[in-house]
Amino acid sequence: MLCPVCDTEMIILEFNMIEIDFCTLCGGVWLDEGELELLLSPENGNCAAVSGIISDLKKCTVTGGARKCPVCRKKMVPVELSTKPPVEIDKCPRNHGLWFDKGELEQVMASSGANGRISDFLKSVFRNK
């Protein structure tokens, strides 16, 4: 899959059986539909308080984001997550998945009480590069 920002091929990382597309150029992360829920699920050591974040994904405001979904090439729509501070991510209007700019996924995970698991994981990825 191509990075929606850089248009280069992303690499696939595996985290707890979840495939994450990662751009080594810009540090962005693409999650297929449902993967954020998996990442934030209690089975992965995360608290259940994130259901509010997930439901926020349904309320999208179309303001014409410039990024295109790597699956269908439709323009993605910005979605604001009610984390503290709020994080704005991009979402495919056809629900193929979510795009996180560098650091945004970590912010979401951190404010959901995810204890830095994913950020440790992403840091380890950067260390290996």
Q: Is residue 48 part of the contact set for Zn ion (CB under 5 A)?
A: no
Which residues does 112 contact at the CB level (< 8 Å), separation at least 6?
40, 46, 47, 49, 50, 53, 83
CB distance 70 to 1 below 8 Å? yes
Mask for 67-106, x = binds Zn ion (CB under 5 A): --x-xx-------------------x-x-x----------
**Residue 11 in the binding site for Zn ion (CB under 5 A):** no
Minimum separation from the CB atom of position 76 to Zn ion (A): 8
**H/E segment holding residue 32:** strand 29-32
Interface with Zn ion (CB under 5 A): 3, 5-6, 23, 25-26, 28, 69, 71-72, 92, 94, 96
